[in-house]
Chains A and B, each alone.
Chain A
Amino acid sequence: MNRLFLSAIFALSFFFMQPAAMAADIEINTPAISAIKNSMQARHNQLAPHYTSGAVGLTRDGLIAVRDAKAVPLKDRQSVNTLVAAENKDRNALYKEIAIANQNPQWESDIRNTFAQRWVEKAKAGWWYQTASGWVQK
């Protein structure tokens, strides 16, 4: 009895959030997507001046391309090529990872198309994007 009296049971509850009800949502918060997002975010400061100058534009397939290398001094042209290649590698990986994260790998092209439209929609005035008939300035 004595022993029972001395025992103290500590009920330590974990006060954590319950998972929010998952509606028809698209999951974009996985470690893989975050890694790609961070990599793209870090690159954006370098790319932004090239969007503004028209050296780089947004393509119809959700990627970017060197539109007019002449807007960049000769010595920096290869670094623009490198930036564009790295960005496209990330973007391709991003569309694939989002499809995988949502358990529907076959959605990759739908996701790519959605992004292609949204990048253009969110682009700043003066940036260039590609249409069926060629490059257009927003």
Chain B
Amino acid sequence: MFPSSVTAATVICPQGCFLPDVSKLHKIFNLQKPALLLGLALFSAPALAISHISIEAAKVEAPQGELRNARLDFNLKTSAVNLKSQYRPSSEQEWTDASLNCARLVNPKKGSWQCDSGKLAAGMTSLPFSLRVDTQSVKGRQQFDAQLAVQKASFSDAAGLHAGENVNAKLKFKAGQLKQGWNWQFDLDWSGGEVFWQPFYITLNNSRLGSHQLRGKGTFNEQLIKVEEARLTLQDIGSADASAEIWRAGTRIRNLQVATGAVDLEALYPLILKPLLEKTALSNLEIAGKGDLKLSMLDGEIKTAHLNLQQVDVEDRNSHFALYKLNADLPWDYDQVKPVRLAYEGGHLLNLPLGKTDIKAMLNRYSLTAQEIDLPLLDGGLNLRDISAVWVDKGWHWHLRAEVVPISMTEFSHALSWPAMQGKVSASIPLVTYSQGVLMTEGDLRFKLFDGTIDVSKLTMRTPLGIAPRLNADIHMRNLDLGTLTRTFSFGAIEGKLDGDVNNLRLANWKPVNFDAAFYSSPGKYPKKISQRAVENISSLGGASAAAAIQRSFLRFFDQFNYSKLGISCKLRGDYCAMDGIESTGDAYVIVKGSGVPSITVLGYNRNVSWGELLERLKRVTAGNSKPIIE
């Protein structure tokens, strides 16, 4: 703090005492540590036979803030020093009381000062300390040696975002004058307490001895602070070595090299990584394994980095994904293209088991490219080609081609706890692009399912990982085997083939809010039969009474009926579905048109149906809750 002015300085002391002149006082206040050095300066004066000295300053102003009503007391009998004042940082309105006490300030030898049981108190800061300073002059050059120990110290800024409690720490600091500038050396040993330095919370494992340490040495002059070597050691985690040059003006980094040893990620994650990854998908992990990082900076920019992961197991606590035995070698260079490699033994993504994978790619400053990535998945896999990703404007933009190597639907549906399905799914996606939260596909995704095909075209997704993801697509289904389909969803047996078109499909948060859907019998010749159970189920979608009606009629003697055509359509807008069938008869529409003897025709009357209600009933039917009543 450099005071810009001192006003109304008065010195009160008994008769005959030594009075420092006002010009000297001003000079004293101009020193960097006014409180401490004010005391030191006074003691170097030959003050004899005086019991008590008081100095008061009404106001001290500095760019950082102000002091007022400052009063320094020195009791010569007990060697107690007491400085009291009120201060106000320039950013604040309120005055805060501050005091600096030293129960005994002693001067064991020339140039040595020792303060035992001192205490600095200001606002929410309470810093009990002991301090010893040795100064000497060797061949006209100043040498300082300070040792500071704080015990049960607590501090906090007004907002509480930088605060510590019960902190025990020791600091050794040495400085010596050189021909030009100074050399310095420090050694900080933090042995207890907790600190919150937003966003980090750091504490010590109190169950056993140990400490976090920071030591370093170097030089400094008018322009530059040079860190020749520094080492940070965190208990139970590991250590990092660094060297740096920092411009004093604006605290800009001229160059910096950091290298960590093998760091225990399990201990590092909650302390350092989790707060830094708060807004990413990696914010809630369980992680174990080792890793190390090398980093170099030049003129404030990262030049090279190299991250290595060894045998790391990662599991998302929300069970979205997991990777086991992950090994990664990720070099990065601002100027050069670097090959990166990432491999894992297994894992899962959204409950789908991932097989052993080895990914190789090239990293060129902010872009990543790979010819081909194979992601084994269940008995098939995902084959990605021509992958290119780039980090621009704080976001990823990427594109790739993808092919689903046939995956058995039996395993796939089991993994996702869907109803057991048969057949295989395979797909090929000509081009997928992702940019600014929007995922788009060019060309059709083709799935082979239920002995037929399902083509998904015009697929776009907005913020797929956000809170309200949106999906748009058109879906075309051809020749789906109704037998397999109805068995899968336990909807009574229907034999035949089904075509379907779902156009203008819009999902919000994976729930449909808009579509124009029509399902109908595929053209061609094939057996068309519908079981009584299926008829009842279709009917019970309209309410319990309709299903009961069949049971009351002679139709209950027939297991199955022939049909010539079936179909239903629904135009969904919001929560309401405008329904229609294969043809209209007056105010009703035909859903199943019978043929042969006996023939059964299912009609729908209500053309405006609540989608939520319809789903509820469908769920009850497939869950087997509305079993036919046997009379």
Binding site for B on A (CB under 8 A): 3, 6-19, 29-36, 39, 66, 68-72, 74-75, 77-78, 81-82, 85, 89-90, 93, 97
Contact = CB atoms under 8 A, between A and B. Distances in A.
Contacts of B542: 12-15
Interface in B160-214: 160-161, 163-165, 194-196, 198-201, 203
A16 B594 contact: no
Contact of B543 (A14, A31, A85, A93): A14
Interface residues of B, number: 63
Given A12-B549, A32-B467, 6 more contacts: A10-B539, A11-B603, A11-B605, A13-B543, A35-B509, A75-B203
A69 B509 contact: no
Given A31-B513, A70-B160, A16 B468 contact: no
Contact of B610 (A17, A66, A89): A17
Given A36-B468, A78-B196, A8 B555 contact: yes
Main SS class of interface, A: helix
Interface in B572-619: 574-576, 579, 588, 591, 594, 597-606, 608-610, 613-614
Given A19-B576, A31-B511, A77-B196, A10 B546 contact: yes
Nearest to B468: A32
Nearest to A9: B601
Contact of A16 (B508, B539, B602, B606): B606
Contacts, number: 145
Given A36-B467, A69-B159, A12 B603 contact: yes
Nearest first, the 7 closest Cβ-Cβ pairs linking A and B are: A69-B160, A13-B605, A14-B606, A32-B468, A70-B160, A31-B511, A35-B509
Interface of B: 124, 156, 159-161, 163-165, 194-196, 198-201, 203, 275, 278-279, 283, 466-468, 470, 507-511, 513, 535, 538-539, 541-543, 546, 549-550, 553, 555, 574-576, 579, 588, 591, 594, 597-606, 608-610, 613-614
Given A30-B513, A77-B160, A82-B278, A8 B598 contact: yes
B161 A77 contact: yes
A10 B603 contact: yes
B610 A12 contact: no
Given A8-B553, A31-B511, A74-B201, A14 B605 contact: yes
Nearest to B507: A31
A16 B588 CA distance: 15
A68 B156 CA distance: 12
Contacts of A19: 575-576, 608, 610
A78 B201 contact: yes
Contacts of A8: 553, 555, 598-600
Given A19-B576, A29-B575, A89 B467 contact: yes
B395 to A, nearest CB: 16
Nearest to B158: A70
B542 to A, nearest CB: 4
Contacts of A7: 594, 597-599, 601
Contact of A12 (B159, B165, B200, B546): B546
